[in-house]
Amino acid sequence: MRLKITHRTEYLYERFVHHSIQELRLTPQDTSNQLLDHWKINAPSKMTESIDAFGNVCHVFVLDNNYSGMLIEARGEVFTKDQYVFSDSKDAVSPFCLLQQTPLTEPSAEMIHNFSSYKNKNLTPEDMLQIAIHIQNMISYEQGATNTKTTAADAWKLKKGVCQDQAHVMLGLCRYLKIPARYVSGFFYAENMPNLASHAWVDVCLDAEKAIWHSIDITNGCFSNEHHIRLAIGRDYAHVAPVKGIRSGGGAEELITKITIEKC
């Protein structure tokens, strides 16, 4: 599919912000399943571009004048195809680096007990999909029940959350099972489900020596396909958030995000 995407992020503050640094991971990757036709990011200050250790395109900009609102807009077009198996390049981060838990993915004792039957087994991609579907059934999708700091253990206890929470639970369990797993941030095209436009899923590595990954969408209970657009990969949400930063001043913050995806 050819998809036209617009991602608009606006911050409003109750008082002036005096200084801030923003880091963006808002550029879709050129991978074997997607080709970036054109892409542009508009930000309120000059950006510096770099590529991080995981191959993500990063932009950083600094604002050092007083402001009470900030707008960041990314837009462009991406060609996608139906694919869920990926192979890393030779210079990619080793899958073994993604066996380590993070504060957001650390599993609870209840989570471990629930999936202990999978321990020390030679799991297949279909087994991993069944684990994802189990998580989908255990954690109902509900917006507003969690936030960006909610941990996998918290979401499991609540039995509700969004794609980010389901992905963190999946990451925690994979790493407990000694299976390298990484967080994928991106977009999901669903004509009648605009709330899923900003999306998250996971890559699992069942062959760490060859660095072969299978990409699984927990929220939709499927392997990734032409509806998925990959933005960035990493350890967890905090590592690859599309927009994150630090600021001095500003007081209370209001965040308004709008994403539109259209099939061309």
Contact indicator for 137, 129 with CB cutoff of 8 Å: no
Number of domains observed in the structure of the chain: 2
* Residue 157 confidence (pLDDT): 97
Do 21 and 114 fall into the same domain? no
* Residue 120 confidence (pLDDT): 85
Contact indicator for 174, 181 with CB cutoff of 8 Å: yes
Q: What is the CATH number of the domain that holds 71?
A: 2.60.40.2250
Do 120 and 188 fall into the same domain? yes
Q: What is the CATH number of the domain that holds 158?
A: 3.10.620.30
Do 90 and 211 fall into the same domain? yes
pTM of the model: 0.95
Q: What phi and psi, each to the nearest 5 degrees, are found at residue 61?
A: -140, 155
| H or E stretch at 120 | none
Do 252 and 193 fall into the same domain? no
Q: Where are the beta strands (DSSP E) in the chain?
A: 2-24, 34-42, 48-51, 57-63, 67-80, 85-87, 140-141, 160-161, 181-188, 198-207, 212-217, 222-223, 228-234, 243-249, 253-263
Kindly report, residue by residue over 208-225, the tens digit of the pLDDT: 999 999 999 999 999 999
* Residue 35 confidence (pLDDT): 95
Do 98 and 185 fall into the same domain? yes
Do 39 and 73 fall into the same domain? yes
Do 177 and 249 fall into the same domain? no
* Residue 194 confidence (pLDDT): 67
Do 74 and 91 fall into the same domain? no
* Residue 241 confidence (pLDDT): 96
Residues of the chain with pLDDT under 50: none
Do 129 and 210 fall into the same domain? yes
List CB contacts of 89: < 8 A, sequence separation 6 or more: 55
Helix and strand counts by DSSP (H, E) for the chain: 5, 15
Do 180 and 65 fall into the same domain? no
Q: Which domain holds residue 183?
A: 85-240
Do 130 and 226 fall into the same domain? yes
Taking the chain, what is the end-to-end CA distance rounded to the nearest angstrom? 8
